[in-house]
Chain A
Amino acid sequence: MTTTTAVQRRPATPADAVSGVQPQEVVRPRTVAEVAEVLRAASADGLSVVPVGGGSKTSWAAPPVSCDLLLDTTGLDRVVEHVAGDLVVVAEAGVRLADLQAQLGDAGQQLGLDPPEPGATLGGVVSANASGPRRLRYGTARDLLIGATVVLADGTVASAGGKVVKNVAGYDLGKLYTGAHGSLGVVVSTTWRLHPVPPARRVVVLDLPDAAAAGPLAVRLTRSTLTPSAVELLATAGGAGELVVVFESVPASVTAQAHAAVALLGGGVEGEGLPAAFGRRPGGVDDVVLRLAYVPAALPAVLGALPVGAQVAASAGTGVAYVALAEQEAVERLADLRAALAPHDGTAVVLRVPEAVRAQLDHWGPVGDAFDLMRRVKERFDPERRMAPGRFVGGL
């Protein structure tokens, strides 16, 4: 790659592999202008580019068909502007979520996203559309991202949205970039709507000998006037589990709501602490981890469709579950699982997969009748198919 200025670069090593594919070279631009310069140079040389932030979710998309340059965004590490009175922050893509939360916390504020991956950057959270239990209350990246700047494949720097929460001027491209895994361009700056940190928390934990009982209980909770931040089921499919209900508000409210929740659920233990597994993805390094999504009330059916023994962390109020399966089980059961989810508008995507079985799993599964339109979007943004090629749905 030919560049005119001193952008940091080094040869890639096996540790830089993206879903098993080792890049040729790693570049680490420090400014938006440097990102643009790298992408112009890559364009001139016809190089494929895969953006990466903290590297905590590189396995969440399919392997790239080509990866000449790994574009490390962690050099874009500035919190540009935090206007506490407006509950808005502008931060570059390489800022780590945990660092941002610490800074915002000093002002009694937070970004309402709690994906557990350690070291995750804002750009990575957006590109992988990562979320955690509190999505029940705050939504996901698409709901909180109010502005985004992206560098396109040809080096064009383009922004959409803005710095105000309420804004309908032009297409909301931030939503398009959310979950696109870098296939449309490199997210370089993000602007977020913030929330105040609630002053108090109470947690109700209910042990369930039969995890499937969580389904109707979760519906009972979501149909009540209680306003939990999270309703999580931590369970073993076909076995026991615990339902964790989190209330975060003023002290009087969390106390009253926790009492009410115990009454509503017919049991449970109140406290302040969260179980160790709360908010974590299930499974170990040898497991295949899936993200399932379905209509929320289908939770019992979803649990029933899982192989007995599968570890589950389900955001019961929203219809999202993370599931760990043993390698062979995943290979044998993924297609059946997708078929079982389909009546519930359900889908299953692979998040983590051991190298040994990667090639045997369809990463994304069926996409539906809008796939051709998605392909046309990709072709407009990246006509030479150099941005994270092959990583996204249907080989985009």
Chain B
Amino acid sequence: MDTIGLAAALRDAVGVERVLTDRAQLRTYECDGLANFRVTPAVVVLAESRQHVVDTVRLCAENGVPFVARGSGTGLSGGALPHAEGVLLVLSRLRGLGPVDADNARVVVQPGVINLWVTRDAAPHDLAYAPDPSSQLVCSIGGNVAENAGGAHCLKYGFTVNHVMGAEVVLPDGSVVHLGGPAPEHPGYDLLGAFVGSEGTLGVATEVTLRLIRVPESVQTMLVGYRSVEDAAGTVSDIIAAGILPAAIEMMDALAIEAAEAAVRCGYPKGAVAVLVIELDGPQVEVEAQFAEVERIALHRHAFETRIAADAAERALMWKGRKSAFAAVGRISPSYFVQDGVIPRTQLPEVLADITRMADEVGLRVANVFHAGDGNLHPLVLFDDAVDGQAHDAEALAGAILDLCITSGGSITGEHGVGHEKRSKMAEQFTADDLDTMQLVRCAFDPAGIANPGKIFPTPRMCGERPGPRTGEHPLQAAGLGEVF
């Protein structure tokens, strides 16, 4: 069946108004948050129910057509980049939420629900949903699950995978399974743990059971200004060494501060070469005791200004500077690449110095915004498309920064995912055997390879026999079903 035939079958199954094939309409979906990769999908399905998802996936499976699931499309690694011959399955209309089960601190949501809505609905019960990616105003839970989204507060609270208790998943053959559930410790393999963060390559979540956390008694936020990056990084290490686990420690360098000031006037300390946003939460007496110690540590590391948010409005302004930093960089540069890499926290000063040196060598500027507490860097490589060759240099620099993350013992992605963008880097971080082993999971879920093909893995493989040398009898041979010639 060609895509025209498939579109007709899809219209029969899910309704005419939910299937798009008009080229102008399709182009709305040609990229996600990583706009430098664009592919127009053959068909778009706007699902409004689990049945629509099942019908769409089943038709794709029957016809060997690839599908790509998409939530709000805010991903930054091209994970929801469409397939030119495939179906883009849009889940943002699946917006069922709740009710909140307050005594068990659970809520069941559909994948199109926006991250922040969960906390909004949980708030009357003094509960909150912990993962808070900077895009939480617009990103969807389905996308969060696919990418194992993080955020500033995962230093203390963990990532999406630590807060997803269960999921209803449409497998790539169209069957529906339930992984985990509201209770812990379901017998069997932790397939949910493998599914979260699988970037849409193992199936489509149509319902997700989330764990909520109690809103802490006290939240205190401190903005600290430094005249050197080393002192800011040293403060982070000293806080950890003192046995304090803040809810978040965020860092921005001079260029990022300049951009944030230009965009949102967040009032960060003037003349700061680096700032830290440090947040502690918990019982009031604990936060007060630890906050005093954090301030001592910061001053010992030559902080020239420490400012404590007096109220929620001041806290919001401190965070606004940080959370708007990516977009703000647009104020000081025509174009930029957002990079996402992780290094061991203790190597921050060296790695930052290396990044500065590498940027100077090619005459580019890099603004650094990052989750310093867990070593998750977000270097923003600034460039001007109008300058010949600069885009290329910027891309090369962004890639070189990832290489630095790998050699420092870190990772090519802390929260944005591998997606389309970083496939080729996977073979640098992992061995061929590591990747082949991951592929075993892929093949168990999706032997036909139709769920978001071409993402994560550098060289897509058919799900046949395990590659490489093997010993012993082939199982088919052992079963008398095959012979070796």
In whole angstroms, how far apart are the Cα atoms of A170 and B440 in the complex? 12
Contact A170 B434 (CB under 8 A): yes
Are the C-beta atoms of A297 and B243 separated by less than 8 Å? Answer: no
Would you call A168 and B193 a contact (CB within 8 A)? no
Q: Which residues of B contact A368 (CB under 8 A)?
A: 177-178, 186, 188
The residue from B104, B105, B148, B187 contacting A365, defined by CB atoms under 8 A apart: B187
- Answer whether residue A340 sits at the interface, using C-beta atoms and an 8 A cutoff: no
Q: How far is the CB of B294 from chain A (nearest CB, A)?
A: 12
Question: Taking the nearest CB of chain B, how far is it from the CB of A286, in angstroms?
Answer: 25
**Chain A residue contacts of B106, Cβ below 8 A:** 295
From known contacts A170-B430, A225-B214, infer whether A367 and B410 are also in contact, taking CB-CB under 8 Å: no
Q: Which residues of A contact B433 (CB under 8 A)?
A: 156-158
Q: Please state if B286 and A250 are interface contacts (CB–CB under 8 Å).
A: yes
**A139 interface residue (CB < 8 Å to B):** yes
Contact of B162 with A by CB under 8 A: yes
Q: Does A11 contact B (CB under 8 A)?
A: no
Q: Would you mind naming 27 contact pairs between A and B with Cβ atoms under 8 Å apart?
A: A87-B240, A158-B436, A160-B434, A162-B409, A162-B410, A165-B374, A166-B376, A167-B411, A167-B413, A168-B415, A172-B148, A173-B194, A174-B193, A179-B190, A195-B245, A222-B105, A223-B105, A226-B283, A295-B104, A297-B103, A319-B184, A320-B184, A346-B183, A368-B186, A369-B178, A371-B188, A377-B191
B181 interface residue per 8 A CB criterion = yes
Contacts of B443 in A (CB 8 A): 380
Top 10 nearest A-B pairs (CB, nearest first) are A175-B193, A196-B243, A225-B217, A253-B286, A158-B437, A293-B185, A345-B183, A297-B103, A85-B346, A167-B411
Is A256 a contact of B283 with CB atoms below 8 Å?
Answer: yes
| A residues lining the B interface (CB < 8 Å) | 40, 43-46, 83-88, 108, 129, 139-140, 142-143, 150, 152, 154-160, 162-176, 178-180, 184, 195-199, 219, 222-227, 249-250, 252-253, 256-257, 291, 293-297, 318-320, 344-347, 349, 364-365, 367-371, 373-374, 376-381, 383-384, 392-394
Asked whether, in the complex, the Cβ of A376 is within 8 Å of the Cβ of B444, the reply is: yes
> Chain B contacts of A174 at CB under 8 A?
193
Contact partners of B440 in chain A: CB under 8 A: 377, 380-381
- Asked whether, in the complex, the Cβ of A159 is within 8 Å of the Cβ of B431, the reply is yes
A384 nearest in chain B by CB position: B475
The reply to whether B285 and A252 form a contact with Cβ atoms under 8 Å apart is yes
Q: How far is it, in angstroms, between the C-alpha of A25 and the C-alpha of B335 when the chains are bound?
A: 65
Instruction: Given A86-B346, A180-B189, A250-B289, check contact A384 B472 (CB 8 Å).
Output: yes
Q: Mark B162-201, 1 if CB is under 8 A from A, else 0.
A: 1000000001000011110111111111111110111000
Of B9-17, B50-58, B337-345, the one contacting chain A is: B337-345
User: Which residue of A108, A140, A159 has the most chain B CB atoms within 10 A of its CB atom?
Assistant: A159
**Contact yes or no, A166 B426, CB < 8 A:** no
B105, B150, B285, B426, most chain A CB atoms within 10 A: B285
In the bound assembly, the distance between CA atoms of A44 and B244 in angstroms comes to: 52
Question: Contacting chain A: which of B41-49, B153-161, B250-258?
Answer: B153-161
B70: interface (CB < 8 Å) = no
Cβ-Cβ contact count across A and B, 8 Å cutoff: 281
Tell whether A349 pairs with B187 under 8 Å between CB atoms, given A87-B240, A158-B433, A253-B285.
yes
Contact B214 A224 (CB under 8 A): yes
Cβ contacts under 8 Å, B183 to chain A: 293-295, 319, 344-347
Interface string of B137-157 (1 = CB under 8 A from A): 000000000011010001000
Which residue of the partner chain, among B194, B237, B418, contacts A169 with CB atoms under 8 Å? B418
B126 part of interface (Cβ distance < 8 Å) = yes
Within 8 A of A (CB), among B278-299: 282-283, 285-286, 289-290
- Choose among B178, B185, B418, B436 the residue that contacts A370 (Cβ–Cβ < 8 A): B178
**Which partner residue on chain A sits nearest B243 by CB separation?**
A196
Q: Assess whether B471 is interfacial by the CB under 8 Å rule.
A: yes
Q: Within the assembled complex, what's the spacing in Å between the Cα atoms of A369 and B104?
A: 24
B217 to chain A minimum Cβ distance, whole angstroms, is: 4
A166–B468 CA distance with the chains assembled, in angstroms? 31
**B321 located at the interface, meaning its Cβ lies under 8 Å from any Cβ of chain A in the complex:** no
Minimum CB–CB distance for B55 against chain A, Å: 19
- Return B218 CB to nearest CB of chain A, in Å: 8
Instruction: Please give, as numbers and ranges, the residues of chain B lying within 8 Å of A374 by CB-CB distance.
Output: 188-189, 191
> Cβ of A226: which chain B residues have Cβ within 8 Å of it?
283
- Partner of A345 from the list B162, B181, B243 (CB cut-off 8 Å) is B181
In the docked arrangement, what's the CA distance between A195 and B155, Å? 11
B396 at the interface (CB under 8 A from A): no
Given contacts A250-B289, A377-B441, A384-B475, contact A196 B411 (CB under 8 A): no
Chain B residue with Cβ nearest A174: B193
| Residues A170 and B344 in contact, CB atoms below 8 Å apart | no
Contact residue among A156, A171, A253 (Cβ-Cβ distance under 8 Å from B197): A171
Nearest Cβ distance between residue B165 and chain A, in whole angstroms?
A: 9
Interface pair B194/A164, CB less than 8 Å apart: no
**Contact across chains for B184 and A196 when beta carbons are under 8 A apart:** no
Q: Are B426 and A170 neighbours in the complex by a CB distance under 8 Å?
A: yes
Q: Shortest beta-carbon distance, B450 to chain A, in Å?
A: 16
CA distance A222 to B194 in the complex (A): 28
Residues of A within 8 A of B181 (CB): 345
Task: Output the least CB separation between B310 and chain A (Å).
Answer: 21
B481 CB, nearest partner CB in chain A, Å: 13
Q: Are A164 and B186 in contact (CB under 8 A)?
A: no
Residue of A nearest to B342 (CB): A164
Query: Which of B171, B438, B468 contacts A170 (CB under 8 A)?
Result: B438
User: Would you call B456 an interface residue if the criterion is a C-beta within 8 Å of the partner chain's C-beta atoms?
Assistant: yes
B162, B283, B418, B468: which has the most chain A beta carbons within 10 Å?
B283
Min CB gap B375→A, angstroms: 6
With A85-B237, A225-B283, A379-B444 in contact, is A168–B148 under 8 Å at CB?
yes
With the chains together, A368 CA to B187 CA distance in Å? Answer: 9
B317 at interface by CB-CB < 8 Å? no
| Distance A144 CA – B197 CA, assembled complex (angstroms) | 16
- The reply to whether B243 and A199 contact each other, CB–CB distance below 8 Å, is yes
Say whether, besides A154-B466, A169-B412, A223 and B188 are in contact (CB < 8 Å): no
Question: Do B190 and A223 touch (CB < 8 A)?
Answer: no
Residues of A within 8 A of B431 (CB): 158-159
The answer to whether B412 and A172 have CB atoms under 8 Å apart is no
Task: Please give me the residue from chain B that is nearest to A365 by CB atom.
Answer: B187
Interface centre among A169, A178, A250 (most CB of B within 10 A): A169
Contact residue among B184, B187, B472 (Cβ-Cβ distance under 8 Å from A318): B184
Which residues in B have their C-beta under 8 angstroms from that of A159?
430-431, 434
With A222-B214, A253-B289, A295-B104 as given contacts, are A347 and B434 in contact (CB-CB < 8 Å)? Answer: no
- Of all chain A residues, the one with the shortest Cβ separation from B340 is A168
CB-CB < 8 A to A378: which residues of B?
189
Does B441 lie within 8 Å of A168, measured CB to CB? no
Chain B residues with CB below 8 A from A199, complex form = 243
Bound complex: CA A212 to CA B366 (Å): 60
Distance (whole angstroms) from the CB of B350 to the closest CB of chain A: 13
Which of A142, A224, A344 contacts B193, CB < 8 Å? A142
Q: Is the CB of B104 within 8 A of A297?
A: yes
Interface residue B371 (Cβ < 8 Å from any Cβ of A): yes
A369 lies within 8 A of B177 (CB): yes
Contacts of A163 in B (CB 8 A): 344, 409-410
When C-beta atoms are compared, the residue in chain A nearest to B244 turns out to be A196
B-chain residues with CB within 8 Å of residue A155 when the two chains form the complex: 471
For B104, the chain A residues whose CB sits under 8 A away are 295-297, 319
